[in-house]
Amino acid sequence: MSIKTAIENKLTEAFSPERLDVVNESHLHAGHHHTERGHEEIFDGTGETHFRVRIVAAAFSGLSRIERHRAVNQVLSEELKRGVHALAIEPAAPGEKTRW
């Protein structure tokens, strides 16, 4: 199973979102410096390491932006430990304005 699919499945199970978009943005980071296991290398942009999560869920109602981010990070803690280098999170509650 791809990391993107795992992220989608976990977020769907945890938050029952009315809208969810998980975008692999790894290719946008090609050429960036990346430190792994104590040595620096230039990232080639392949794989599944950088994601943007856009999610609208009732579970976020009444939560601050920080609380929403923490909730998503907690659900995806295993993916973050196993190779997801960057995770941009755009959470919203139903009825809130989004930029996407």
CB 15 within 8 A of CB 56: no
pLDDT score, position 29: 47
What DSSP assignment string belongs to 12-57? HHHH--SEEEEEE-GGGGTT-EEEETTEEEE--S-SS-EEEEEEE-
Per-residue pLDDT at 61 exceeds 50: yes
pTM (predicted TM-score): 0.81
Superfamily of domain 3-92: BolA-like (3.30.300.90)
Residue 50 pLDDT grade (very low, low, confident, very high; cuts 50, 70, 90): confident
Average pLDDT, the chain: 86
Helices (H) and strands (E) in the chain, counts: 3, 5
Q: How confident is the model at residue 45 (pLDDT cuts 50, 70, 90)?
A: very low
